[in-house]
Structure 1
Amino acid sequence: MKEKIILKSTELFLNLGFKSVTMDDIASEMGISKKTIYVHFPNKTKLVEVTTMHLFELISHGIDCICALDKNPIEELYDIKRFVMDHLKGEKSSPQYQLKKYYPKIYTSLKQKQFEVMHECVNENLSRGINQGLYRDTINIEFITRIYFNSMLAIKDTDLFPLKIFSMNMLMENYLEYHLRGICTEKGIKILNQFITNKQS
């Protein structure tokens, strides 16, 4: 039952937001009593924490699997973006931003874990891209890694990028191209242009 509650809560939080969804909503959706949820989770904050970490572990594992395929570094970034968007349901409710606003302790803990995973992944991606002649060998890997991570967080700020104007998919697509055009060599730009053309056709 605990696993079912986590899965249903994750789905509701992603679609409607952490703030909007109540314990009553979850119980109603599952056809169970609120008491049953409280047997496994003492309060909503604990439930938010567990579902957040569950989703984080799921996405981290998926990213590890994509990185293990040792693909072309440019293609790898697009595959990761696609995988993350699929699992975050397009982030219609901007969950990360809501988490920061209403559950700051959980957000801070999650951000640290995300940084550790992304730091390793992006570092590895940049190193391989340089070795394959796709990224410029003059870039500062540590600087780019941190800028990449912070920019990914920034585009999820719905005050800065209102969802009425920018869909999360559009933001991710635009940011990824922006990032790659800043670090690619001529060889890398050719592959990037080809990749974008193929996706549009």
Structure 2
Amino acid sequence: MDTKEKILQVADGQFHRYGIRSVSMDDIARELGMSKKTIYQYFKDKECLVRYVTESNIQQEIRDFNEVLEKSDNAIDELYKFSLCFRKNLNDINPSLLFDLQKFHPTSWQLWEDFKYSFIKDMVVDAIKRGKNEGVFRQSIDAEVLALYRIESIQLAFDPKIFPKEKFNLVDIQLELFDHFVYGLLTVEGHEIFDKLRNSTQNDK
């Protein structure tokens, strides 16, 4: 791993753990055991660093989601594995992360918004259409509407005004919202498949 990658990795970990606003360039330099001057050789300021971290996270999400598409057995399995991609690092994420990104780093926030309303939305729309073709999702549902609902519900869980971190666990919220979303899509056959998938996952744990 070269120096630039190390900086990105440490900055990403600090942002996820403490939020973006609470982490200074001094904090990152201290964690790395290097001077701020070295960091500024690769990133001209914190805004630039946040943008690179955001882009790196988006590219990793795309790789993860594409891997899911290749390995999912059906639409239910596909959505379930998509949700695992979102949840895999939630235990280490400070809920203020997205709020800080939106309020203090609008350029990076727009990168996330573009990714959310293009790649993620289209991915969920395609999964819902697949499920309708497979007979596991109800034919009457509107894929576009529910895809938008799904991506907004993911982001909703990060709002500390609605779900204060002193009272709610981020992973538990996402699990509850995901189950509510999927159960609203399912046919009788789909219910059976989803219940078996959830039970097998719980047994593996």
What TM-score do the two structures reach when normalised by structure 2? 0.91
Residue matched to 1:137: 139
Residue matched to 1:9: 11
Secondary structure of 2:88's aligned partner = helix
Q: Give the Cα–Cα distance (whole angstroms) in 1 for the partners of residues 176 and 66 of structure 2.
A: 24
Residue matched to 1:184: 186
Q: Residue type matched to 1:144 in 2?
A: L
Aligned residues: CA RMSD: 1.6
What TM-score do the two structures reach when normalised by structure 1? 0.92
CA displacement at 1:166 relative to structure 2: 1.8
159-168 vs 40-49, which moves further: 159-168
1:24-39 equivalence runs, <5 A: 24-39=26-41
Q: Give the Cα–Cα distance (whole angstroms) in 2 for the partners of residues 200 and 88 of structure 1.
A: 18
Residue matched to 1:46: 48
CA displacement at 1:60 relative to structure 2: 1.4
Residue matched to 1:175: 177
Residue matched to 2:153: 151
State whether residues 95 and 170 of structure 2, in contact with CA within 8 Å, keep that contact through their aligned partners in structure 1.
no
State whether residues 27 and 34 of structure 1, in contact with CA within 8 Å, keep that contact through their aligned partners in structure 2.
yes
Q: Give the Cα–Cα distance (whole angstroms) in 1 for the partners of residues 187 and 165 of structure 2.
A: 33
Q: Give the Cα–Cα distance (whole angstroms) in 2 for the partners of residues 29 and 120 of structure 1.
A: 38
What is the aligned residue count?
Answer: 201
Residue matched to 1:161: 163
Residue matched to 1:76: 78
Secondary structure of 1:56's aligned partner = helix
Q: Is 1:96 paired with 2:98? A: yes
State whether residues 95 and 160 of structure 2, in contact with CA within 8 Å, keep that contact through their aligned partners in structure 1.
no
State whether residues 9 and 51 of structure 1, in contact with CA within 8 Å, keep that contact through their aligned partners in structure 2.
yes
Q: Residue type matched to 2:76 in 1?
A: I
Secondary structure of 2:166's aligned partner = coil
